[in-house]
Homo-oligomer: A and B are copies of this chain.
Amino acid sequence: MAGKLGIVAGGGRLPQLLIDSCLETGRDFFVLALKGQADPQIVEKAPHEWVRIGAAGRGFAILREQGIEELVMAGRVRRPSLMDLRPDIRAVTFFARLGLKGVGDDGLLRALIRELEEEGYRVVGIDELLPALRAEEGVLGGRRPDEQAEADIARGKAVLSALARVDVGQAVVVQQGIVLGVEAVEGTDALLQRCGPLKRDGPGGVLVKLSKQGQETRVDMPTVGPDTVRQAANARLRGIAVEAGATIVVDADELVEAADRAGLFVIGVTQDT
């Protein structure tokens, strides 16, 4: 049986799903709830302690005190400003060692995992603990893409593949072959919001969301849920294509219901190699 699990909890419902799973299987766990990020209603029903993102020293102390062996990071983390970060000595040392110049998000996360592993913790992806949340290949729900939508998905895959080579982008919106928007650091919500008014006449576009090849999916796996569907519907898209095996689907039942109601398809696809 795996040792005690530390759940580093950000926003959204994912921490809840992990807590439920631990309670069901009887696995010992402890929640490190990130201040300003995790949902109090979720974490306060479980054994937990609140920590600031900048308080790395305190975080490491909790891991030790609690005898944690394995770590999983779950949920959205909004990047704090340097003001809010107020790094403690442990965090400052980490950043200083890293050097700040030119480290992208992925580089930062990779360094954080390395740091944790050097301290003897095992870091696992949420999809390892909850494999049922992984998107499968094929359609979810009642709709499937037509010929134009298939062409838009193929175009989106090609664009993301080109972008992955320069370490940018996880999502694009494509309508009738035209790339309406490319996601950089602003996030999928912001991408969908701005693509609504950019819609051209005729059949709407498709959101294509893939992992970057080489992306550190243990802490930053693409995630979709009912909200993604609602936002895509607001942007008058016709569907969503995610990467089978490399996307977390939160609340799949509710997502399918929302998609069917809005007339959107949701499909798991594979990356071109």
A-side residues, CB < 8 A to B, are 81-82, 100-105, 148, 151, 155, 158-159, 162-163, 165-166, 168-169, 172-173, 176-186, 190, 194, 198, 201-202
The answer to whether B177 and A104 touch across the interface, beta carbons within 8 angstroms, is yes
Q: Which residues of B contact A184 (CB under 8 A)?
A: 172-173, 179-182
Name which residue of chain B comes closest to A164, CB basis.
B162
The answer to whether A101 and B176 touch across the interface, beta carbons within 8 angstroms, is yes
Q: Smallest Cβ distance from A241 to chain B, in angstroms?
A: 16
Q: A102-B177, A180-B186 are in contact. List 17 more A-B contacts (CB 8 A).
A: A82-B201, A100-B202, A101-B176, A102-B151, A104-B177, A155-B166, A162-B165, A168-B179, A168-B182, A169-B179, A169-B182, A178-B185, A179-B184, A180-B185, A182-B182, A186-B198, A194-B194
Name which residue of chain B comes closest to A176, CB basis.
B102
Q: Which of B101, B159, B198 contacts A168 (CB 8 A)?
A: B159
The answer to whether A190 and B194 touch across the interface, beta carbons within 8 angstroms, is yes
The answer to whether A181 and B186 touch across the interface, beta carbons within 8 angstroms, is yes
Name which residue of chain B comes closest to A183, CB basis.
B182
Q: A100-B176, A177-B104 are in contact. Are A185 and B159 (CB under 8 A)?
A: no
Name which residue of chain B comes closest to A81, CB basis.
B201
Q: Which of B101, B185, B201 contacts A148 (CB 8 A)?
A: B101
